[in-house]
A and B are shown apart, each in its own frame.
Chain A
Amino acid sequence: MRAKRIKGIKFGLLSSKEIRKMSASRIITPDTYGEDGFPIERGLVNQHIGVIDPGLRCKTCGGRMGECPGHFGHIDLEAPVIHIGYAKLIYRILAATCRKCSRVVLGEEDRKRFLEEIKRQKERQADVGEVVKQVFREAAKSSVCMYCSEPQNPIKYDKPTTYIEIDEDGKERRLMPTDVRERLERIPDEDVLLFGMDPGNARPEWMVLTVLPVPPVTARPSITLESGQRSEDDLTHKLVDIIRINQRFMENRDAGAPQLIIEDLWELLQYHVNTYFDNEIPGVPPARHRSGRPLKTISQRLKGKDGRFRGSLSGKRVNFSARTVISPDPNIDIDEVGVPEEIAKELTITVNVTERNLDVMRGTIKRGKKHPGVNYVRRVDGRKIKVTESNYEALAEELDIGWKVERHIQDGDIVLFNRQPSLHRLSIMAHYVRVMPGRTFRLNPAVCPPYNADYDGDEMNLHVLQTEEARAEAKILMEVQRNIISPRFGRPIIGGIHDYITGLFLLTSGEKRFEKEKVLDILHKIDIEDLGEYGGTFESPVRSEVSGMGFEEVRLSPYWTGKQIFSMILPKQLNLQFRGKMCARCIERGEECKKEQCPREAYVVIKEGNLLCGVIDERAIGSFKGIIIDKIFRQYREEVAKVFINNVSRLAINYIKRTGFSFGISDEDIPREGKEQIREEAVHEAEKKVDELIRAYEGGELEALPGRTLEETLELLIMQELAHARDDSGIIAERYLSIENPGVLMAKSGARGSMLNLTQMAACVGQQSVRGERIKRGYQGRTLPHFKPGDRSADAHGFVRSSFKDGLSPTEYFFHAIGGREALVDTAVRTSQSGYFQRRLINALQDLEVKYDGTVRETKGIVVQFKYGDDSVDPSKGEYGKVVDIDEVIREAIGAESRG
Chain B
Amino acid sequence: MKKGRFSILEHELVPKHEIPEGREVAELLDKYKLQKEQLPKIKKSDPVIKEIKAKVGDVVRITRRSRTAGKSLSYRLVIE
- Determine the chain A residues whose CB is within 8 A of the CB of B45 once the complex forms: none
Check A873 against B39 for contact (C-beta < 8 Å).
Answer: no
Check B69 against A871 for contact (C-beta < 8 Å).
Answer: yes
A861 at interface by CB-CB < 8 Å: yes
B34 at interface by CB-CB < 8 Å: yes
**Can you name the residue of chain B whose Cβ is closest to the Cβ of A869?**
B68
Check B32 against A867 for contact (C-beta < 8 Å).
Answer: no
Check A871 against B68 for contact (C-beta < 8 Å).
Answer: yes
With A853-B32, A855-B32 in contact, is A867–B38 under 8 Å at CB?
Answer: no
With A870-B66, A871-B66 in contact, is A863–B32 under 8 Å at CB?
Answer: yes
Check A870 against B34 for contact (C-beta < 8 Å).
Answer: no
Which listed segment binds A: B7-15, B16-24, B50-58, B72-80?
B72-80
B22 to chain A, nearest CB (A): 19
With A853-B32, A855-B32 in contact, is A860–B69 under 8 Å at CB?
Answer: no
Check A870 against B38 for contact (C-beta < 8 Å).
Answer: no
With A853-B32, A871-B66 in contact, is A862–B38 under 8 Å at CB?
Answer: yes
B73 to chain A, nearest CB (A): 7
B17 to chain A, nearest CB (A): 15
B18 to chain A, nearest CB (A): 15
Check A863 against B72 for contact (C-beta < 8 Å).
Answer: no
- Determine the chain B residues whose CB is within 8 A of the CB of A870 once the complex forms: 66-69, 72
A863 to B39, CA, bound (A): 5
**Can you name the residue of chain B whose Cβ is closest to the Cβ of A854?**
B32
- Determine the chain B residues whose CB is within 8 A of the CB of A853 once the complex forms: 31-33
Name the contact of B40 in the complex, choosing from A863, A867, A873, A881 (C-beta under 8 A).
A863
A871 to B67, CA, bound (A): 10
A797 to B67, CA, bound (A): 46
Check B38 against A863 for contact (C-beta < 8 Å).
Answer: yes
Check A862 against B66 for contact (C-beta < 8 Å).
Answer: no
Check A866 against B38 for contact (C-beta < 8 Å).
Answer: no
A158 to chain B, nearest CB (A): 46
Check B40 against A862 for contact (C-beta < 8 Å).
Answer: yes
Residues of chain A from 831 to 886 with CB closer than 8 A to chain B in the complex: 853, 855, 857, 860-867, 869-871, 873, 881
Check A864 against B40 for contact (C-beta < 8 Å).
Answer: yes
A862 to B66, CA, bound (A): 21
How many residues of chain B have a CB within 8 Å of chain A?
17
Interface residues on A, range: 10 to 19
Check B68 against A873 for contact (C-beta < 8 Å).
Answer: yes
A847 to chain B, nearest CB (A): 15
- Determine the chain B residues whose CB is within 8 A of the CB of A869 once the complex forms: 68-69
With A853-B32, A860-B38, A861-B38 in contact, is A866–B75 under 8 Å at CB?
Answer: yes
A867 to B31, CA, bound (A): 13
B80 to chain A, nearest CB (A): 11
A331 to B2, CA, bound (A): 77
Check B74 against A866 for contact (C-beta < 8 Å).
Answer: yes
- Determine the chain B residues whose CB is within 8 A of the CB of A855 once the complex forms: 32
With A853-B32, A855-B32 in contact, is A867–B72 under 8 Å at CB?
Answer: yes
Determine which residue in A853, A863, A870, A881 has the highest number of CB atoms from chain B within 10 A of its CB, and name it: A870
A447 to chain B, nearest CB (A): 30
**Can you name the residue of chain B whose Cβ is closest to the Cβ of A881?**
B68
Check B39 against A862 for contact (C-beta < 8 Å).
Answer: yes
- Determine the chain A residues whose CB is within 8 A of the CB of B73 once the complex forms: 866
**Can you name the residue of chain A whose Cβ is closest to the Cβ of B66?**
A870
- Determine the chain B residues whose CB is within 8 A of the CB of A862 once the complex forms: 37-40
A858 to chain B, nearest CB (A): 10
- Determine the chain B residues whose CB is within 8 A of the CB of A857 once the complex forms: 38
A880 to chain B, nearest CB (A): 12
A866 to chain B, nearest CB (A): 6
B61 to chain A, nearest CB (A): 11
B71 to chain A, nearest CB (A): 9
A881 to B66, CA, bound (A): 13
**Can you name the residue of chain A whose Cβ is closest to the Cβ of B64?**
A870
B63 to chain A, nearest CB (A): 12
A869 to B64, CA, bound (A): 13
- Determine the chain A residues whose CB is within 8 A of the CB of B69 once the complex forms: 867, 869-871
- Determine the chain B residues whose CB is within 8 A of the CB of A863 once the complex forms: 32, 34, 38-40
A855 to B73, CA, bound (A): 12
- Determine the chain A residues whose CB is within 8 A of the CB of B32 once the complex forms: 853, 855, 863, 866
- Determine the chain B residues whose CB is within 8 A of the CB of A873 once the complex forms: 68
- Determine the chain B residues whose CB is within 8 A of the CB of A881 once the complex forms: 68
**Can you name the residue of chain A whose Cβ is closest to the Cβ of B40?**
A863
A163 to B40, CA, bound (A): 51
- Determine the chain A residues whose CB is within 8 A of the CB of B33 once the complex forms: 853
- Determine the chain A residues whose CB is within 8 A of the CB of B39 once the complex forms: 862-863
A96 to chain B, nearest CB (A): 32
B57 to chain A, nearest CB (A): 17
**Can you name the residue of chain A whose Cβ is closest to the Cβ of B67?**
A870
**Can you name the residue of chain A whose Cβ is closest to the Cβ of B65?**
A870
**Can you name the residue of chain B whose Cβ is closest to the Cβ of A858?**
B38
A586 to B32, CA, bound (A): 52
A188 to B38, CA, bound (A): 43
B72 to chain A, nearest CB (A): 4
A126 to chain B, nearest CB (A): 14
A123 to chain B, nearest CB (A): 14
- Determine the chain A residues whose CB is within 8 A of the CB of B66 once the complex forms: 870-871
- Determine the chain A residues whose CB is within 8 A of the CB of B40 once the complex forms: 862-864
Determine which residue in B31, B38, B66 has the highest number of CB atoms from chain A within 10 A of its CB, and name it: B38
- Determine the chain A residues whose CB is within 8 A of the CB of B67 once the complex forms: 870
Top 8 A-B pairs ranked by shortest CB distance? Answer: A870-B69, A871-B69, A870-B72, A870-B66, A871-B68, A870-B68, A862-B38, A861-B38
- Given known contacts A863-B32, A873-B68, what 19 new A-B pairs fall within 8 Å (CB)? A853-B31, A853-B32, A853-B33, A855-B32, A857-B38, A862-B37, A862-B39, A863-B40, A864-B40, A866-B72, A866-B73, A866-B75, A867-B69, A869-B68, A870-B66, A870-B68, A871-B68, A871-B69, A881-B68
Which residues of B pack against A, CB within 8 Å? Answer: 31-35, 37-40, 66-69, 72-75
Give 12 pairs: A residue, B residue, CB < 8 Å, sorted on A: A853-B31, A853-B33, A860-B38, A861-B34, A861-B35, A862-B37, A862-B38, A862-B39, A863-B32, A863-B34, A870-B69, A881-B68
